[in-house]
Amino acid sequence: MDHLYNHAAIGYANLWWKQDRLLLQRMKETGGMSAVLPDIAVAYSVIRSIPGGRNSKQWQQIAYELDNQKKLTTTTYVQIVEQWKEKLGSKQNLLSAASKLLWFHSKNPVKILDSRAAKALKFKNGTYNDYCALWKAEYKLSELQIQSAILKLIEQVDCTVIPPEGRAEFFEVVNQKWFAERIFDKYLWNQGGK
């Protein structure tokens, strides 16, 4: 099963280089989420859930509120994600959208809820807190395999799309907790797609 974590590590490294890194970089350069929020929603397939889609008048207000949201902590993130589900407003359940947008806001400790990850975890019904508890328990069981996959990823960085001139930036983030958690997300996403 280690090969599945290795595959997820390379998959997320590529996704990070081509997408997440660029979105996070633009957020940093522009001083907030307003310039990138619709792009995050498109990249993470939540745009279809927001009334008005890319042209929604809500984006500036959502970005403003996210920019003024304090960084989420291990004690606050579940409640805040639940609140943002309501703030995004729709007849649909926007818990997945809220978790994805708030991940870009705070990264760790937010757990991204995705239908494929939920399927991999056999999570059918329950609250975001229930999902996070299951996610954390499975992550703990997989942590050694994820750390092993990260070591192999570092050794085999040539197998990624990250060019030599981007390696220093990669080496700065690859051992951060949020990067390991995103590898686990990628693993779950792959498993839930079967």
Domains of the chain, residue spans: 2-192
What local confidence, expressed as pLDDT, does residue 92 receive?
61
What's the predicted TM-score (pTM) here?
A: 0.94
Where are the alpha helices (H) located in the chain, listed in sequence order? 2-15, 21-30, 37-43, 58-67, 77-88, 95-106, 115-120, 128-155, 167-173, 177-192
What residues of the chain score a pLDDT lower than 50? none
Q: Is 131 exposed, middle or buried (0-12, 13-18, 19+ CB in 10 A)?
A: buried
Instruction: Report the pLDDT value the prediction gives residue 91, as an integer from 0 to 100.
Output: 56
Residue-wise pLDDT for 132-182, tens only, equals 999 999 999 999 999 999 999 999 999 999 999 999 999 999 999 999 999
Q: Which residues lie below 8 Å from residue 161, measured CB to CB, with a gap of 6+?
A: 14, 17, 18
pLDDT at position 38 is 87
Phi, psi for residue 89 in degrees, rounded to 5: 55, 115
Output the pLDDT for position 110.
Answer: 96
